[in-house]
Structure 1
Amino acid sequence: MGSKFHAFMYPWFGFGHMIPYLHLANKLAEKGHTVTFLLPKKAQKQLEPLNLFPDSILFEPLTLPYVDGLPVGAETTSDLQSESKLILYDAMDLLRDQIEAKVRASKPDLIFFDLVDWIPEMAKKFGVKSVCYQIVSAAFVAMFLAPGAELGFPPPGYPSSKVALRGHDANLYSFFARTRQSFFDRVTTGLKSCDIISIRTCAEIEGKLCGFIERQCQKKVLLTGPMFPAPQEKRVKPLEDRWNHWLNGFEPGSVVFCALGTHCFLEKDQFQELCLGMELTGLPFLVRAMPPRGSSTTQEALPEGFEERVKGRGIVWGGWVEQPLILSHQSVGCFVNQCGFGSMWESLVSDCQIVFIPLLADQALTTRLMTEEFQVSVKVQREDSGWFSKESLRDAVNSVMDKDSEIGNLVKRNHKKLKETLVSPGLLRGYADKFVEALENEVKNTKTS
């Protein structure tokens, strides 16, 4: 059929970007399209298990060129400390000649990208349609689309006074403040010069914000929905025995599960504050956390006497866990997370109470959307230092877990309503299907014009 197409994908080399891109690639392949997925060599092994259509999705590994300051062997953001992640921009820019050669040889119909802003210019040269696919929230994309927009001051016409960075948000995210201009320029250039804008969200959550982006960029924004993994991608298997057995020992809805993402590295004192805050709740808890900076394991960084005090009711784990399966266990009643966009979606389609500890600027905006606009969650309050205390973490968790809490009951009611909307039959699959159909029409029209 003429509408079948070949797409290139060149996402930012962080697993939080590459994995959602691969979920989208699976959707395209399911519909009969082919994808060439450009990625760093080391990432291929980790992503291969998520490739459901290896005959249709071809991994094209790239070797990052040497850039001053890039550590030997570093290929993704997880290989770098926050301060040095910008070096990846330079390395990915230097891959342009290699990518141009591949595009010239393969003649794809589309090329997807997010932060590499020269893709649209290159694509035009070869008659290829460029698709700027943003996997972060529309709130974050929208905040930086108007000239002169500043942290804490939404741009003119921005549809929400609540979903804005302010107070400790601006102070806390010093890395973002230092890199803002580079990020701003790349995202805005990509959005305004691409042929098609798409965002991993849905109108029920961010419709007004997407409308603002359309007006600012003067082009339609196509929404994919959250693009959850297909059922077979989750490999529908039972929860690991170790966790199933442990969780079965507690009352339904009583356990607090805390996970702050696989690439979040807290300072040691903040990590200990997190552990002590969970202890102070008095509730059973499971914390999944990376070792803090300067520690080789989570265990060696635990507060003195902590393991003995929480024995039997609390675990801090540095290894991998199946987050969706833990969230679906009947004993888990609260999910504490950093409000990364993937964790936010998993929060919304779970039955758990939601507590957010945003750690990056985009997470702060999404947290405001969820806590202030939709009122489906609570946020851990910051201290004057910009960080959270064990008491503020305890208070946030207890405020939603106390059955007599007014705020706890409010967010539970609102969360239930929003979840019912999101899981209504066909809604999310409908977004993905309409998105692919729109791309097919775009390619067909290009070929017949």
Structure 2
Amino acid sequence: MNNSDIPEMHIALFPWIGMGHIIPFATLSNYLASRGHRISFLLPKKGLLKLQNQDIDSELINFYTVKVPHVQGLPPGAETTADIDYSGKDPLAIAFDAMADEVEELLSGLKPDVVLFDFAHWMPKLGAKIGFKTVCYNIVSASSMAIGVVPARYFPKDRRLTDDEVLEPPQGYPSKTVVIRRLRHEIRAMSFICETFGAITFGERLTVGLRDSDAIGVRAVRELERPMCDYLVDQFKKPVLLSGPILPQAPKKVLEEKWDTWLRKFSPKSVLYCAFGSQNIMPKDQFQELVLGFEMTGLPFLLALSKPHGAKTVEEALPEGFLERVGERGVVYDGWVQQNQILNHPSVGCFVSHGGIASVWESLLSDCQIVLVPCLGDHILNTRLLADELKVGVEVERDEDAGFSKEDLCSAIKTAMDEESELGNTIRRNHARWKEELSKPGLYDSYIDDFIKNLYQLMPQDHNNNRKFQ
């Protein structure tokens, strides 16, 4: 079946109320709308305001704002994860679930054919009640799903991992390298599975959504994670729909003049770029080790970082004398930057990231050397995929408590950048090969087209026969 044979579907999306979830759902909406499908996007008002930097311009996409009710422990006016400290995630999850009645009322009136969701584990029940299909769509990698989500079904409520145990891969798990190591901070990073997230644990929330939905969606490609994708199909015995990486379309805007002017001061492929995402707030001591590690490299650098815990500004958190020592070769900036344009600037040669899935894809599709400093569970697994399985990047060494030194960071960067280093040359060759494989013309379009076909095939046959074709 060609996409031209598929009639218009009405697809609703309701992601978790964090911008790291809302943005990729919005990008997916763009792709679906570009194929002629009608989109209803449900989100809080503040989430909609934060989408203004994104290119969401299709007439087929309609936004519906849903009120986030105030609950005990939630700061007044908080509507997204950007409005809270990480410790406030449980009250936000309670408020998120309290949106269910308004979401039900909206969907009853909209009457979509299918709803894509991630953390709203109660959505399949609404689907059965109102009459739409549901897809639990996950913005993380298939590797993170396989080791991080699937075992969640085996963890009862209030289960906690202790420092002397580890989350072992379940039976049949297809990798010996994409794993959680026996380090205290990595075990703790995976304990989020057992933490409360509203009325239930995070693991239970995901497991119920995956179990009860009509299909599972994953932001992945078979070329990169085929064994993990096959493993998910085997575990859940239902369709697993791969959307591809769901990256924004090629940027329409050129890089801001101030950044372009600064970057052009340096020779090609010499600048280090670092970004850890807006939600990754570092302790002040680790923040200082990080910036000192970049100083030690002797290379120019641009660091797009949030201010650390306890600091009012990035500037006040910098080590004494740091700005004077690095002069014009180093910039630490607390604000939004055009990451894609920066990574593709001829002066930028290395990308140091936290291993978030969007950064993983952007690094793979760039010509930059890859260095990873993971902290959260899925970031650790993404890092293992890149550094240990695919051997396209270098992971910064961490101690038992997740700490790293300026020397560790500097060493990892030097290894990645050194053209005479055996490991550096290995990751350079592997990265070039994977970039070529993942940049084949039409690859991502084919994933979107297949994703849409699979969505359509979820519809009852009599429902499909009665639809008006375009």
Instruction: Tell me if both proteins adopt one fold, taking TM over 0.5 as the criterion.
Output: yes
Letter in 2 for 1:310: V
CA deviations over 1:362-414 (Å, ceiling 9, x no partner):
00011001111100001010024321111110110011111111110000000
Residue 268 of structure 1: which of 284, 287, 295 is its match? 284
Aligned mates of 1:152, 1:351 — CA distance in 2: 35
Write the mapping of 1:96-135 to structure 2, written as runs, cut at 5 A: 96-135=100-139
CA positional deviation for 1:445: 2.8
Deviation at 1:224, TM superposition (A): 0.6
Q: Within 2, Cα distance between the matches of 1:329 and 1:429?
A: 25
CA separation in 1, counterparts of 2:53 and 2:354?
26
Match of 2:246 among 223, 227, 230: 227
Amino acid paired to 1:267: P
Do 2:375 and 2:402's aligned partners in 1 also have CA atoms closer than 8 Å?
no
Structure 2 contact 214–458 (Cα < 8 Å) conserved:
no
Give the aligned partner of residue 32 of structure 1.
36
Say which SS state the counterpart of residue 459 (structure 2) adopts. helix
The equivalent residue for 2:433 is: 417
Whole-Å Cα distance in 1 between the matches of residues 407 and 456 of structure 2?
53
Give yes or no for the alignment of 1:71 onto 2:90: no
Aligned-residue offset at 1:52: 3.0
| 1:185 and 2:204 matched | yes
Alignment of 1:357-372 (within 5 A): 357-372=373-388
- In the alignment, does 2:269 pair up with 1:253? yes
Between the aligned partners of 1:275 and 1:446, the Cα distance in structure 2 is 61
- Alignment match of 2:178 (pick from 146, 163, 167): 163
| 1:16 corresponds to | 20
Displacement of 1:54 after TM fit?
4.6
For 1:241 and 1:66, the matched residues in 2 are separated by: 42
Provide the C-alpha distance between the structure 2 equivalents of 1:315 and 1:172, rounded to a whole number of angstroms.
33
Determine the structure 1 residue equivalent to 2:332.
316
User: 1:3 maps to what in 2?
Assistant: 7
Question: Are 1:239 and 2:242 counterparts?
Answer: no
Q: Is the CA contact 1:148–1:155 (under 8 Å) kept in the aligned structure 2? A: no
Q: What residue is the counterpart of 1:215 in the other structure?
A: 234
Between the aligned partners of 1:121 and 1:446, the Cα distance in structure 2 is 22
Q: 1:45 to 1:446 in 2, by over 3 A?
A: farther
Assess if the C-alpha contact under 8 Å between 1:4 and 1:440 holds in 2.
Answer: no
1:420 and 1:203 map into 2 onto residues whose CA distance is 15
Q: Report which stretch shifted further, 335-344 or 241-250.
A: 241-250
Q: Which amino acid aligns with 1:201?
A: A
Change (3 A) 1:444 1:29: farther
User: Please, which of 435, 438, 443 is the counterpart of residue 451 of structure 2?
Assistant: 435
Aligned in 2, Cα 1:300/1:175: closer, same or farther, shift over 3 Å? farther
Contact 1:170 1:177 in 2 (8 A): no
> Residues 364-383 of structure 1: matches in 2 within 5 Å?
364-383=380-399
Match of 1:57 in 2: 61
- Post-superposition Cα deviations, 1:173-213, rounded to whole Å, max 9, x if no partner, equal 28726627711111111111100111111001111111111
The residue number in structure 1 matching 2:468 is none
**Pairwise CA distance, 1:148:** 3.6
Structure 1 residue ranges without an equivalent (≥5): none
Q: Cα gap change, 1:2/1:338 in structure 2, threshold over 3 Å: closer, same or farther?
A: closer
TM-score, with length taken from structure 2: 0.91
Q: 1: distance between equivalents of 2:413 and 2:188?
A: 22
Q: Give the drift of 1:48.
A: 4.0
Q: Are the aligned partners of 2:193 and 2:203 in contact in 1 as well (CA < 8 Å)? A: no
Aligned residues of 2:30 and 2:58 also touching (Cα < 8 A) = no
SS of 1:219's partner is coil
2:368 matched to 1:352? yes
- What residue number does 2:50 align with? 46
RMSD: 1.8
Question: How many Å separate the matches in 2 of 1:152 and 1:250?
Answer: 45
Superposed, 1:335-346 pairs within 5 Å as 335-346=351-362
Change over 3 Å in CA distance of 1:386–1:190 after alignment to 2? same
State how 1:261-300 maps to structure 2 within 5 Å: 261-300=277-316
Counterpart residue identity of residue 127, structure 1:
G
Partners in 1 of 2:53 and 2:462 — Cα distance?
34
Contact 1:117 / 1:189 at 8 angstroms: preserved in 2? yes
Equivalent residue pairs, number: 446
Question: 1:248 corresponds to which letter in structure 2?
Answer: R
Matching of residue 326 in structure 1 with residue 342 in structure 2 = yes
- Distance (Å, rounded) in 2 between the aligned partners of 1:88 and 1:51: 27
Return the match for 1:153 from 156, 160, 168: 168
Q: CA deviation at 1:442?
A: 3.0
